[in-house]
């Protein structure tokens, strides 16, 4: 399925609010064909992840690819691999976040910017992995080997980057999306702490942001 067809399918899927329209959708041959094509392509892509070919090495989709231009090709294991624009953009977003973490001072207090950015990265890694697993196959576990407050700058950066190759992590688009959500949550909490929207504990639900208890405790 090409991108236009996929967009058309998703638009039609999410534009069916009523049960009657849902029944019509199930009986629509064209839409069913698009849905079937979407599922088949997704399954094929999942089976190609981490394998060399004309498809993207990281997401497995058969889309235009090129050599990756992210700043961490060895750590992200994209050196010599075919990468689509979506995965390349995601790698750059993750790389920029890591660079932002490393630019900040390692101050041992809750208000430390480095600690907050590091928390966002590890939380995003847990969200896209298996947070119940604590071993080197999980990015969040490997990231936890870095000490944002105690490590020397070079050691800290090296441990963060090594976490990706050590865990064999490939889901950069999912990680970048989770990071964006973590950053958005942090921004919302910063606004709420400023008093513009009231106290976090009282107004978070009213504003439509339902945070996990651990997240609220950290940002407060």
pLDDT over threshold 80, residue 175: yes
Cα 124 to Cα 133: distance, rounded to the nearest angstrom: 15
pLDDT at 176: 97
pLDDT at 72: 96
The percent of residues in the chain predicted with pLDDT above 90, rounded, is 56
Q: Could you report the per-residue pLDDT of 11-45, keeping only the tens digit for each? A: 555 555 556 666 666 666 776 666 666 677 788 88
Enumerate the domain spans of the chain.
1-48, 52-219
Is the entire prediction scored with pTM above 0.75?
no
Cα 174 to Cα 176: distance, rounded to the nearest angstrom: 6
Q: Could you report the per-residue pLDDT of 183-208, keeping only the tens digit for each? A: 998 888 777 776 655 554 444 444 44
pLDDT at 35: 65
CA atoms within a 13 Å half-sphere pointing along the CA-CB vector of 8: 11
């Amino acid at each position: 399925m090409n991108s236009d067809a996929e967009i058309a399918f998703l638009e039609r899927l999410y534009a069916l609010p009523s049960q009657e329209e849902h029944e019509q959708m199930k009986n629509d041959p064209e839409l069913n064909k698009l849905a079937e094509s979407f599922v088949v392509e997704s399954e094929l892509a999942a089976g190609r992840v981490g394998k060399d070919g004309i498809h993207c090495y990281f997401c497995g989709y058969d889309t235009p690819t090129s050599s990756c231009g992210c700043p961490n090709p060895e750590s992200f294991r994209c050196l010599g691999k075919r990468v689509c624009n979506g995965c390349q953009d995601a790698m750059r977003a993750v790389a920029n976040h890591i660079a932002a973490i490393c630019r900040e001072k390692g101050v041992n207090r809750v208000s430390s910017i480095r600690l907050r950015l590091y928390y966002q990265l590890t939380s995003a890694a847990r969200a896209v992995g298996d947070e119940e697993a604590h071993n080197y196959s999980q990015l969040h576990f490997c990231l936890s080997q870095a000490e944002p407050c105690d490590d020397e700058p070079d050691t800290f950066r090296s441990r963060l980057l090594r976490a990706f190759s050590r865990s064999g992590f490939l889901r950069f688009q999912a990680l970048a999306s989770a990071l964006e959500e973590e950053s958005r949550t942090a921004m919302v909490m910063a606004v709420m702490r400023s008093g513009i929207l009231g106290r976090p504990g009282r107004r978070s639900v009213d504003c439509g942001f339902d945070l996990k208890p651990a997240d609220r405790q950290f940002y407060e």
